Structure 1
């Protein structure tokens, strides 16, 4: 229970934030850069979760080694400050990593740094990174400068405490990618999903294939719904999610557009299925594509998709865990 909730609460919070960010970023790549802002082991898990939810790469090399997450990054301000001049720092980075590298250009003077980077690569510089100031204004100025210097193919990457709202605000700026750190690895305001473990059934005896007995909590404000659950997502004819249907004690009745949500991971203590990283990434994209347009709203609100509990006698309740008038019965 403890280790499972630790994984689910942390990784799902990171993945949810990453999914919101990549959704508003549209086709601009996002890079996970939050290792300095969280616990060292959590940083590796965060990089994996972010990649599954749409981020293109991570700056965490351990995540690349352990999970195969693509790695990418830029230099730090300290690298520039270590050298006698910015030109020396850029020349050293280009010599080590090639002209396609990304130069951090806001240590001293952005305009002069861009000019230096373009000059050293004869207009073939891969990208520049902006990490301070008004990013919308700065990106426009730098794009105009790059184009005037003949570096039309040099990209602009922006960082500096970005979250999904900042990324959305930058949608009209000439930006080619985002580096996201603190907001991502802290769940962008939701550091945990608040998942809990509730035992819902126990065997009636120690006999093999003994029937299950439903159990549930009845304490004030923490009532749980007992019984084995079977979950599916109900889709429209166009493949848009309409409801999540939970059968209590027995699978709910399917229609031809329903998709089962349960996957057996462990059987008799043995791992029953393992999903490769790329398969998980593609599954996230498919599942997110099923959501209705209202699910992409950034503001708080009632659940966009109903959760319908169907009891064995056919009675139904809608969003029974909701704390507002959205909950009801049928």
Structure 2
């Protein structure tokens, strides 16, 4: 087992341009070129991570910057050149200490090594894929569910990272006095305030998204799993022909004429409209510290990733949502 673990740790050092691994023991801080490579690798580990904005910033707090909006920047003026000032509507961000650690016990490592060809390269790849995926999914969990940053987090009480950091929805709650998130109780169903998802999504777009953004082709509808399941069940129950069933199966791909999908870990009754690149994750430069090694006392291989990290909205007005706590499903 050790014959695989030590070379894997050495490969991590080599990949991250660390010239003297012994100086740091099992811990190392990666170089700036490798920070960019790491960000690319984590983005590629998930379809959604490839679409959202991940960036390095110099300061621990500040304002998110997303240059420009969908205002009209072309025209004429009676005197001089036509101009329309660029707007900056980004939310405020605050980075905080974020520590990720995942481990694999000895028995599972033995199965992992013997399940394939048993080569060092295969072991390295499987371990790297596992840890990258685990940490990436955590970033999405916190982005959709984070409410605040506690000094001492309690994962048993907050399994989706509610106390790790403020996620995108919590940030939207505070942006512009909460104008972009509906918290007033509402119902969805045949006799509800909104008959179906299309009606609710259209309301969010037409009432909360500024006019210049409403026809933006990048807008997507993010549907909570419970809402999607309920709507599909209604369509399947009423499907009288194969074409009706096909329409039911296509539900999650289009809502209110926009591309729609069920994001991982988003609360089941939440509905949100935004562009995916409007969802930002920031990491402070030169704060990434990794540790990898086998803990002989616990018989665990541990891989940890420490950094200063936070979330933001590039443009707060480009996010509109119905809060999950305000929406009630009506059967009839």
Give the TM bin, normalised by the shorter chain.
under 0.3
Higher relative contact order (CA 8 A, sep 6+): 2
More strand by share: 2
**TM-score of the superposed pair, with normalisation by structure 2:** 0.22
Q: Which structure's CA Rg is the greater one?
A: 1
TM-score by length of 1: 0.22
